[in-house]
Structure 1
Amino acid sequence: MKNDMKINRYLEKAEEAFEQNNLIKSLNLYNKVYELSKGKDVDAIINLALIYDFWGKSEKVKEYYKEALSIDDCEERAYYGLAAIYDDEGNYAKAIKLYKKAIYINPSYHKAYFFLANAYDVSGKKDLAIYTYKRLLSLSPLDFWANLNLGSIYEEKDQNDLAYKKFSKALKINPHNYLALFNMGVICCKFNMVKKAAGFYERAIEKNKNYEYSYLNLAVIYKYKDTERGIKILSRGIDNCSEVHFLYYNRSCFYALINEKNQACEDIIQALKLYPQFLKYVLEDEELEKIRQLNSFKEFIHNYI
């Protein structure tokens, strides 16, 4: 009884230290609980795993989660924690199996559903990802990221009506998220609602000036009908995302369209310096045919590639 009281006191202090981000103190207190309980307190073991996970000690984390499961094989937190480690390592098959175990034990485990769906998505199992996101949304309809991610999968599969609905729902939940705004721009372009798409891209840029794809997609809208405006948009992107090779590549193509050969050449050289693998595309790109004939380009190829 006295031991139990001491354990509870240490657990309270350890949790308080953890919440205050005093991880060393928290670790020491959980270790005391571990010793007093002779390694049988599952809460202490789970929290020791969380601390070591914060420090990136994945093998140590695995040991603690497996130890917790050896005490209680219905401990959903341990299955989820192990799954997250394997997920980070790219071992999606193991991660999926463990997320499913956590959900089997706790059918309302929101985080497990979310990361299970994501693991299915990144491992190419799109239909299972859709099914899992739907199950999550049946539990939590206002989950912003579940709506957004499900919409992205629908958009990849060209199920654009469904994608539009999910992106719209995500924006109702969070009207200021740049990715939701960007994705709505993508869908509006697919529906040929170009003016609306441009508005969404502009709003996405307002919310995050460092997301390079917003500049690219917005510029492409103006590529042939207002090339100089497109160049200005790409220049804004380059100012905010200076190391993004494809913005230089695309601006080079825009300059080539209006016969600004020297500027086009400068940009394509910069793109190749940042990403030499572009050379294959540069040598085949019809828009850059005149640029490839310039002496400055030939000299660069001779000296640097």
Structure 2
Amino acid sequence: MKDNIQINKYLEKAEEAFEENKLIKALNLYNKVYELSNGEDIDSIINLALIYDTLGKSEKAKAYYKEALDIDNCEERAYYGLAAIYDDEGNYEQAIKLYNKAIYINPNYHKAYFFLANAYDLSGEKDLSIETYEKLLSLNPTDFWANLNLGSIYEEQNQNDLAYKKFSKALKIDPNNYLALFNMGVICYKFNMIKKAIGFYERSINKNKHYEYSYLNLAVIYKYKATKKGIEILSNGINNCSKVHFLYYNRSCFYALINEENKACEDIITALKLYPKFLKYVLEDEELEKVRKLSSFKEFASK
């Protein structure tokens, strides 16, 4: 009885420390619970695993999750926790098995569905990823990231009507998310709704000035019809997103289009310094033909 009272006191203090992100203090308190309970308090074991994982000690975290499963092989949190570690390690096959076990025990485990879908996506199992995201959305239709991620997979597969619906739903949930605005720009451009695409890209930039792809996609719209406008957009991107090699590469191509080869050369050299593997593309890019003939480029390339 005395031990139970002491365990509850330590548990209460441990939870408080954990919520305040005082991980070492929480770890020590959960260890006391572990000792007093003779390693039988499953909540303390799960929390020890979680803290060790947060501290980057994944092997120790795995050991505690497995210990929890030795006590209760239907402990969904342990399967999920183990799956998350294997997921982070890139062992998607093992992660997928464990996420599925967690879901088998708890068919309403929203987080497990989400990360299972993501693991399927990363491992190339696109159809299973779609199926899993759709299942999650049947349980929780207002999951912003599930709508957004599923829309991205549909867009990759050129199922653009479905992608449009998912991005629209995501924007209803969070109208100010830069990534949802960006993705809607992509779809509108595919549908040749150019003005709408421009509007979404501009709103995306307004919400996050450091997302380089918004600048790139917006600039490309102006590449041949208003090249200087495109250069201005890429320049803004370069100012707000430091050391983004492809923005310099693209601005170089834009400068080449308006016969400003010296500026184009400066940008392509900067791009190559940031990402030397671009050289293969530079040597084959028709838009940069005049740039390649400049002595400044030849001198740089010969080093």
TM-score (norm 2): 0.99
Separation (CA, whole Å) in 2 of partners of 1:236 and 1:284:
27
1:151 is aligned to 151
2:10 is aligned to 10
Q: What one-letter code is carried by the residue in structure 2 that aligns with 1:217?
A: N
Per-residue CA distance 1:17-61 (angstroms, 9 max, x = gap): 111222222111111111111111100000111111111100010
1:222 is aligned to 222
1:130 is aligned to 130
Q: CA deviation at 1:203?
A: 0.4
Matched, 1:264 2:276: no
2:194 is aligned to 194
Separation (CA, whole Å) in 1 of partners of 2:80 and 2:127:
22
Q: CA deviation at 1:137?
A: 0.4
1:33 is aligned to 33
Map 1:167-182 to 2 at 5 A.
Answer: 167-182=167-182
Per-residue CA distance 1:190-216 (angstroms, 9 max, x = gap): 000011001100000001111000000
Map 1:47-196 to 2 at 5 A.
Answer: 47-196=47-196
Separation (CA, whole Å) in 1 of partners of 2:24 and 2:89:
26
Q: What one-letter code is carried by the residue in structure 1 that aligns with 2:158?
A: D
Q: What one-letter code is carried by the residue in structure 1 that aligns with 2:121?
A: D
The answer to which of 29-38 and 14-23 deviates more is 14-23
Moved over 3 A (4+): none
Q: CA deviation at 1:2?
A: 2.4
Separation (CA, whole Å) in 2 of partners of 1:229 and 1:29:
60
The answer to which of 294-303 and 253-262 deviates more is 294-303
TM-score (norm 1): 0.98
Q: CA deviation at 1:5?
A: 2.1
Q: CA deviation at 1:14?
A: 1.1
The answer to which of 163-172 and 51-60 deviates more is 51-60
2:277 is aligned to 277
Identical positions, percent = 81
SS of the equivalent of 1:100 reads helix
Separation (CA, whole Å) in 1 of partners of 2:247 and 2:138:
40
SS of the equivalent of 2:302 reads helix
Q: What one-letter code is carried by the residue in structure 2 that aligns with 1:250?
A: N
**Unpaired segments ≥5 residues, structure 1:** none
1:298 is aligned to 298
Per-residue CA distance 1:238-291 (angstroms, 9 max, x = gap): 001120000000000000000001000100111111101000100000000111
Considering only aligned residues, what root-mean-square deviation do their CA atoms show, in Å? 0.7
Q: CA deviation at 1:3?
A: 1.9
Q: What one-letter code is carried by the residue in structure 1 that aligns with 2:125?
A: K
Separation (CA, whole Å) in 2 of partners of 1:154 and 1:184:
12
